[in-house]
């Protein structure tokens, strides 16, 4: 074998050693960081779920509040309609109903 062939063989061996070292380093990094990354991902997903639940609760509360307001507004309008249907009890025309002027018997 001449020097040129030995040099080519040495370069090929060095490339193989380099590729093996990179693969081993990659495997070691994956092994070292996978549990940490899984833990962090699980914590983040849990945090996001809690935020979603809190947001869903807030939306439900807002919906309930809106429904209560709508029901109140509807009840108030029914009360206004009822009041308009009733005969006026303002005998003296001052805008107030005087209980002492009413015939309660």
Cα 67 to chain centroid distance, Å, stands at 22
Is 16 inside any structural domain?
yes
pLDDT tens, position by position, 9-45? 999 999 999 999 999 999 999 999 999 999 999 999 9
Domain span including residue 13: 3-85
Percentage of the chain beyond pLDDT 90 is 48
Is 77 inside any structural domain?
yes
Is 10 inside any structural domain?
yes
Mean residue pLDDT of the chain comes to 82
Is 103 inside any structural domain?
no
Is 76 inside any structural domain?
yes
Is 80 inside any structural domain?
yes
Is 56 inside any structural domain?
yes
Q: How many domains does the chain have?
A: 1
Is 90 inside any structural domain?
no
């Amino acid at each position: 074998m001449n020097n040129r062939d030995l040099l080519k063989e040495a370069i090929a061996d060095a490339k193989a050693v380099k590729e093996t070292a990179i693969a081993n380093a990659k495997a070691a990094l994956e092994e070292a960081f996978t549990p940490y990354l899984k833990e962090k991902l699980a914590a983040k997903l849990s945090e996001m779920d809690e935020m979603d639940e809190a947001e869903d609760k807030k939306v439900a509360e807002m919906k309930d509040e809106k429904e209560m307001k709508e029901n109140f507004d509807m009840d108030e309008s029914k009360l206004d309609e009822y009041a308009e249907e009733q005969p006026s009890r303002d005998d003296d025309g001052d805008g107030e109903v005087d209980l002492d002027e009413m015939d309660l018997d």
